[in-house]
Amino acid sequence: MTGTPKKKATEWITKWDTKIAEVKPKVTKAVGSKTVSIVSPFDKGIYIFETPLAAGRNHL
At 39, give phi and psi (nearest 5°).
Answer: -120, 130
CA proximity to 1, closest of 13, 26, 52 = 13
Domain edges within the chain: 5-59
Please tell me the distance from the alpha carbon of residue 8 to that of residue 14, in angstroms, as a whole number: 10
Mean pLDDT for the stretch of residues 1-11: 84
Name which of 2, 22, 20, 23 is nearest 11 in CA terms: 2
Indicate whether this model's pTM tops 0.85: no
At 10-59, the pLDDT tens digits run 999 999 999 999 998 998 899 888 877 778 888 989 877 766 655 555 55
